[in-house]
Amino acid sequence: MKKITALALSSLLFVSLALAGEPNEVDQKWLKAVEQKVTSGDTSVTTPSQERVDLLKTWAAKNGYSVTVNKLDRGFQLSVNKNLARK
Domain boundaries, the chain: 23-87
What's the 3-state SS for the chain? CHHHHHHHHHHHHHHHHHHHCCCCHHHHHHHHHHHHHHHCCCCEEEECCHHHHHHHHHHHHHCCEEEEEEEECCEEEEEEEECCCCC
Q: What pLDDT was estimated at residue 85?
A: 56
Q: What pLDDT was estimated at residue 71?
A: 94
Task: Indicate whether this model's pTM tops 0.85.
Answer: no
Q: What pLDDT was estimated at residue 1?
A: 80
Q: What pLDDT was estimated at residue 70?
A: 95
* Closest C-alpha among 58, 51, 56 to residue 20: 51
| One pLDDT digit (tens) per residue for the chain, 87 residues | 877 776 666 666 565 555 556 778 999 999 999 999 998 989 899 999 999 999 999 999 999 999 999 999 999 999 999 887 554
CATH for 23-87 is 3.30.1370
